[in-house]
Amino acid sequence: MSFFKKVRNTINLLKQVDMDQLAKINSKIDLTEAMQTLGKLDDRQLAGLMKMLKTKRRKGQHDLPPIDGDFYNLDLRLTEEQREIQLKVRNFMEDEIKPLVNEYWKKDQFPFEVIEKFSKLNIVGVPYEGYGCPNLPFLMEGIIAQEIARVDVSISTFFGVHSGLAMGSIYLCGSEEQKQEWLPKMQKMEKIGAFGLTEPDVGSGVAGGLETTCKFDGENWVLNGQKKWIGNATFSDVTVIWARDLDSNQVKGFLVRKENPGFETEKIRDKMALRIVQNAIITLTDCKVPESDRLQNANSFKDTANVLRMTRAGVAWQAVGCARGAYESALKYTKKREQFGRPIASFQLVQNHLVEMLSNLTSMQTLCFRLSELQDQDLLRDEHASLAKVYCSMRMRDVVSQAREVLGGNGILLEYDVARFVADAEAIYSYEGTKEINSLIVGRAITGYSAFVS
Q: What is the CATH number of the domain that holds 263?
A: 2.40.110.10
Strands 238-245 and 193-196: parallel
Collect all residues with Cβ–Cβ distance below 8 Å to 139 and sequence separation of at least 6: 78, 82, 369, 372, 373, 375, 376
pLDDT in tens, 321-342: 999 999 999 999 999 998 898 9
* Rounded Cα gap, residues 199 and 272, in angstroms: 20
Residue 202 forms part of a structural domain: yes
Residue 324 forms part of a structural domain: yes
* Rounded Cα gap, residues 313 and 376, in angstroms: 11
Q: Pick the closest to residue 159 from 125, 129, 135 (CA basis).
A: 125
Residue 150 forms part of a structural domain: yes
Q: Pick the closest to residue 310 from 375, 383, 229 (CA basis).
A: 375
Q: Which long-range contacts (CB under 8 A, 24 or more apart) does 177-180 make?
A: 177/292, 178/255, 178/292, 178/293, 178/295, 178/296, 179/130, 179/131, 180/131
Cβ 125 vs Cβ 163: under 8 Å: yes
Q: Are 432 and 310 in the same domain?
A: yes
Flag whether pLDDT at 153 surpasses 90: yes
pLDDT of residue 60: 47
Q: What is the mean pLDDT of residues 283-309?
A: 93
Flag whether pLDDT at 217 surpasses 60: yes
Among candidate residues 133, 162, 191, the one where a domain is terminated:
191
Q: What is the mean pLDDT of residues 168-193?
A: 97
* Rounded Cα gap, residues 436 and 430, in angstroms: 10
Q: Are 256 and 290 in the same domain?
A: yes
Residue 323 forms part of a structural domain: yes
Flag whether pLDDT at 51 surpasses 90: no
pLDDT of residue 119: 94
Residue 454 forms part of a structural domain: no
Among candidate residues 276, 301, 326, the one where a domain is terminated:
301
Flag whether pLDDT at 43 surpasses 60: yes
pLDDT in tens, 241-273: 999 999 999 999 999 999 999 999 999 999 999
Q: What is the mean pLDDT of residues 208-223?
A: 90
pLDDT of residue 310: 84
Among candidate residues 173, 191, 209, the one where a domain is terminated:
191
Q: Are 215 and 334 in the same domain?
A: no
Q: Are 269 and 317 in the same domain?
A: no
pLDDT of residue 17: 63
Q: Are 185 and 199 in the same domain?
A: no
Query: Which of residues 59 and 188 earns the better pLDDT score?
Result: 188
* Rounded Cα gap, residues 19 and 262, in angstroms: 82
Q: Are 129 and 261 in the same domain?
A: no
Class of residue 4 by CB neighbours under 10 A (exposed 0-12, middle 13-18, buried 19+): exposed
Q: Which CATH number fits the domain that encloses residue 113? A: 1.10.540.10
pLDDT of residue 454: 60
> What is the span of the domain harbouring residue 250?
194-301
pLDDT in tens, 10-32: 666 556 666 667 667 767 677 67
What total of structural domains would you count in the chain?
3
* DSSP class of 277: S
Collect all residues with Cβ–Cβ distance below 8 Å to 67 and sequence separation of at least 6: 328, 331, 332, 335
Q: Are 79 and 169 in the same domain?
A: yes
Residue 3 forms part of a structural domain: no
Residue 12 forms part of a structural domain: no
The three-state secondary structure class of 368 is helix
Q: Are 293 and 199 in the same domain?
A: yes
Flag whether pLDDT at 4 surpasses 70: no
Residue 62 forms part of a structural domain: no
Q: Which CATH number fits the domain that encloses residue 344? A: 1.20.140.10
Element (H, E) at 288: strand 279-290
pLDDT in tens, 354-410: 999 999 999 999 999 999 999 999 999 999 999 999 999 999 999 999 999 999 999
Flag whether pLDDT at 56 surpasses 70: no
| Mean residue pLDDT across the chain | 90
Q: Are 435 and 312 in the same domain?
A: yes
Cβ 284 vs Cβ 226: under 8 Å: yes
Cβ 313 vs Cβ 388: under 8 Å: yes
Q: Pick the closest to residue 369 from 133, 166, 163, 71 (CA basis).
A: 71
Q: Are 333 and 412 in the same domain?
A: yes
Q: Are 315 and 334 in the same domain?
A: yes
Q: Are 254 and 350 in the same domain?
A: no
